[in-house]
Structure 1
Amino acid sequence: MLLPDSLANNVRWPTIRLSLQAASLAHYAVEAAEPVATVQSREIYVQALKLHRRFIRENMGSAMFPSSIALTAVVSNVILAFFEAVRCSHVDAYGFHVSAAAEILEIIGPEQCRSGLLNQLFFTLRSQMAFVSFIRHTPFKLATEEWAQVLFSDQTAKPMSERVMDSIIVLLQILSTCDTAESFDVQDVRISVFHIHSQLEELWTAYSGSGTSFDQALISVAAPDSPINQNPVTILTTVYFNCASLILSHLSAAYMDDHLADITSIASCASILSGIEYLEKKSIGCAYMRMMLPLVLIGLQSPEVGQRRFAREKLQTWRAQRWMSGLCTVSLHHLDNYVKLARDDSMED
């Protein structure tokens, strides 16, 4: 993401510059295992945070504010979120920054996010907003039909990974409603699940160019007979397909009496884990951030204890190796909370 000089070098409000310094130094501290840089990055982060809060208070108190102000606020929040992804200061801080940035984008509106830097920011935030909303059980932002119509600024159609992400976001919203709402219409859930499954079937057929159905496609992406050529983009896309399938299976088992759902779920999780192994071996840096949601989904929804354990161990390994250790900490925290709540519920029963 290229930042305009007017943003990065704003003299009056150097919030972006300070945020960049904090995040860059934190990243360096992790890579070099440099404790002095770690301390310095935290000090700069605190300065950036204070200045950012003051900036918001003094410039965004009214309903109307210049687009340059909104852009500065969004960029600052995104960079502060990256700091938290690298080195967690508090388990809620990453989600706070992502949600704040998404909230400002919602004020700006989808029409303004169809090109330029705002378009890049939207696609940077969208999948992470889904992750944050899912683990925190908070309302989904950037998730309406209007936002789903936003394309990459230089393309006439979304990449397949983003089209599948559209379905994942809708499924996560359904899942969140089922988990948290006091009441909901089961028939609506069944209709939605059937509709989304049909959509994904069509997408998979178009993507794979093969005669295999979406359900039959839940094979390891490393399998010799996989219809998909293996490269980071196709692996990521296939992982997303399997994330969607995992959520569908979870909902089908709960609300559609699908007795084969567990088999499908295990196959989906195996494919996701295989894809993660591929991306890890190829040292695809962005994969560590993008794979947080898939790993948390496996940790929560796989019917197989071994897969749930493997997902947790993968997060623990990444944290120990300092790969997006902040996000790993956040993910593990919420997995632990889920286990604790489930244990408390079983004791009450």
Structure 2
Amino acid sequence: MTEQARHGSRKRRGEPIVKRPAPALVIWSYQTPIPRISQQAVVTQAFYNRFLLYFTSEGDGKDIQNKASWLHRLPQLSVDGTNDALTLAVQATASSYCASETHDPALHRHARNLYGQALRQHGRLLARVKAAVCAVTIHMISTSVLFSIFEAMQATTAQAYCLHIIGAAKMFEVTDPRQCAEGVLCQLFFHLRTQMAFLTLSEQRTNINVKKILHDSLDYEDLPIFQRLTTQFTLLADAYNSAAQMTDGYGNIATESFMTVEEHIAFKTEIDALWKECNEKGEATWYDEAAHRRDFRDIFTALLVAYFSAAHILLALTTPRFARPSSDHLDHYKRILEAAEHMQTRQIGCAYMRIAAPLLLVALHATHVEQRNAAVANFEAWKKSTMRGMSELALHTINRRKQQPEWLTPVAKQGLTGMASDGVVS
């Protein structure tokens, strides 16, 4: 075989097979970790979505005259880096709400810890305001409002809820109109007035210069119907409290504790005029025969109607001794319960707490026991849910009033009996 043939044969045989080790498994490492979702962020978002979402109720902007809502401004205010107390207050109130919803003791403790931190931070800021180092801001007012909501849920002490409501309102007295932020403070003060009305019926003194706040701090030219109505309600509630407190051991009451006939007529004239103005914007309420229920123009109007009925109840409760009984034969207790049901069935979160004052009157004075029980049932349900602090104050007021001697005059009783008729509202 020639050399050339031997070379070709070697080429065709190929290389011998040699076993080599398998290549090592290469694991690539990524510098960017997978982001973890913050539990606090989830809790806060749930609070916004399920509770504060309804801080603005359908229809309120037309009366309050705000262009922006607190709900939309609060997330920005709480993270703009100018007020740590507000950031902590949002986290504390959100945690409190979710803890009440889930009955989670650990989350309750966490909420209270955050609340304590927020209180300390807020206290330092208020000390600076008192020393004239800085002015009251929308952040500070928002913090106090959140504290009041926290206490309405948790009730860390008997008076904390009341103090935060009054504290927030006091800040309004000294705040600059430029802090209003397109009417956000107008909306906050509307909420506060509903809570102040509840406190007044619970015999908690507020002593807030409402007129100064409305005209100076909020710079209103045309006052909202609700604000004007709440002023009448508060004055009547003060007269009601005075009457209840001026009894002797036998249930007798001093004549001077009731308002004069002229004062009574003036109140009724103003309330009737406000009702007429309210209906000029469209029928406020009507009875739906097909559905067999009362309906309302919108959620805000349902609340407004409840306060009109509450004002009429207070008018009857404070009727002068020698006045003729009211000719109003509408069942205002029933009307309040209908408004409460209308709001409750729509699950409107924190807006529902604003009807506490009218419901308290139903629980205390409704002629039919079924109506009183229905109102008390609302507060009992709150106590088991997200409004424990607020409901405890209401139930305490109801129990305390039951122990007081009967103080209604025969004329007032006659007026209340007239209200208990089943007249259909036109």
Task: Place the TM-score, normalised by the shorter chain, in its bin.
Answer: 0.7 to 0.9
Please point out which of 312, 321, 329 is paired with 2:392: 329
Q: 1-side partners of 2:287 and 2:387: how far apart?
A: 25
Is the Cα–Cα contact under 8 Å of residues 288 and 323 in structure 1 kept in the other structure? Answer: no
Please point out which of 96, 107, 130 is paired with 2:174: 107
Q: 1-side partners of 2:180 and 2:263: how far apart?
A: 28
Once the two structures are overlaid, the 10-residue window that deviates more, 15-24 or 27-36, is: 27-36
Decide whether aligned partners of structure 1 residues 151 and 138 sit closer, same or farther in structure 2, where only a CA change above 3 A counts. Answer: closer
Decide whether aligned partners of structure 1 residues 5 and 309 sit closer, same or farther in structure 2, where only a CA change above 3 A counts. Answer: closer
Structure 1: gaps of 5 or more residues: 344-349
The one-letter code matched in structure 2 to 1:39 is: R
Match of 1:38 in 2: 108
Q: 1-side partners of 2:209 and 2:370: how far apart?
A: 34
Match of 2:140 in 1: 73
Deviation at 1:291, TM superposition (A): 1.3
Is the Cα–Cα contact under 8 Å of residues 97 and 153 in structure 2 kept in the other structure? Answer: yes
Relative contact order, higher structure (CA 8 A, sep 6+): 2
Q: 1-side partners of 2:262 and 2:79: how far apart?
A: 48
Decide whether aligned partners of structure 1 residues 175 and 223 sit closer, same or farther in structure 2, where only a CA change above 3 A counts. Answer: farther
Is the Cα–Cα contact under 8 Å of residues 166 and 206 in structure 2 kept in the other structure? Answer: no
Q: 1-side partners of 2:396 and 2:294: how far apart?
A: 37
- Kindly report which structure 2 residues correspond to 1:238-317, keeping only aligned pairs within 5 A, or say none: 238-252=305-319, 255-259=321-325, 264=329, 267-317=331-381
- Kindly report which structure 2 residues correspond to 1:1-349, keeping only aligned pairs within 5 A, or say none: 1=70, 2-3=73-74, 5=76, 8-10=79-81, 14-56=84-126, 58-62=127-131, 64-67=132-135, 69-108=136-175, 116-144=183-211, 146-147=212-213, 149=215, 157-180=222-245, 185=256, 188-209=259-280, 222=287, 224=289, 229-252=296-319, 255-259=321-325, 264=329, 267-320=331-384, 322-342=385-405
Is the Cα–Cα contact under 8 Å of residues 133 and 140 in structure 1 kept in the other structure? Answer: no
Q: 1-side partners of 2:260 and 2:134: how far apart?
A: 41
Q: 1-side partners of 2:295 and 2:322: how far apart?
A: 30
Q: 1-side partners of 2:77 and 2:181: how far apart?
A: 21
Is the Cα–Cα contact under 8 Å of residues 86 and 142 in structure 2 kept in the other structure? Answer: yes
Decide whether aligned partners of structure 1 residues 191 and 143 sit closer, same or farther in structure 2, where only a CA change above 3 A counts. Answer: farther
Structure with higher helix content:
1
Decide whether aligned partners of structure 1 residues 83 and 108 sit closer, same or farther in structure 2, where only a CA change above 3 A counts. Answer: same
Deviation at 1:269, TM superposition (A): 0.6
Decide whether aligned partners of structure 1 residues 274 and 112 sit closer, same or farther in structure 2, where only a CA change above 3 A counts. Answer: same
The share of aligned pairs that are identical, in percent, is 23
Q: 1-side partners of 2:163 and 2:393: how far apart?
A: 12
Once the two structures are overlaid, the 10-residue window that deviates more, 271-280 or 176-185, is: 176-185
Is the Cα–Cα contact under 8 Å of residues 137 and 180 in structure 1 kept in the other structure? Answer: no
State the TM-score, normalizing by the size of structure 1: 0.78
Structure 1 residue matching 2:130: 3-state secondary structure: coil
Describe the superposition over 1:142-183 as per-residue Cα deviations: whole angstroms up to 9, x where unpaired: 434x44557977x86444333322321222233234444798
Is the Cα–Cα contact under 8 Å of residues 145 and 165 in structure 2 kept in the other structure? Answer: yes
Decide whether aligned partners of structure 1 residues 308 and 168 sit closer, same or farther in structure 2, where only a CA change above 3 A counts. Answer: same
Is the Cα–Cα contact under 8 Å of residues 363 and 398 in structure 2 kept in the other structure? Answer: yes
Match of 1:346 in 2: none
Is the Cα–Cα contact under 8 Å of residues 143 and 169 in structure 1 kept in the other structure? Answer: no
Structure 2: gaps of 5 or more residues: 1-69, 248-253, 407-426
Deviation at 1:35, TM superposition (A): 2.7
> Radius of gyration: which is bigger?
2
Is the Cα–Cα contact under 8 Å of residues 134 and 172 in structure 1 kept in the other structure? Answer: yes
Q: 1-side partners of 2:298 and 2:185: how far apart?
A: 28
Is the Cα–Cα contact under 8 Å of residues 243 and 258 in structure 2 kept in the other structure? Answer: no
Match of 1:347 in 2: none
Q: 2-side partners of 1:52 and 1:340: how far apart?
A: 39
Once the two structures are overlaid, the 10-residue window that deviates more, 90-99 or 229-238, is: 229-238
Count of paired positions: 326
Q: 2-side partners of 1:141 and 1:181: how far apart?
A: 24
Deviation at 1:245, TM superposition (A): 0.7
Decide whether aligned partners of structure 1 residues 10 and 205 sit closer, same or farther in structure 2, where only a CA change above 3 A counts. Answer: same
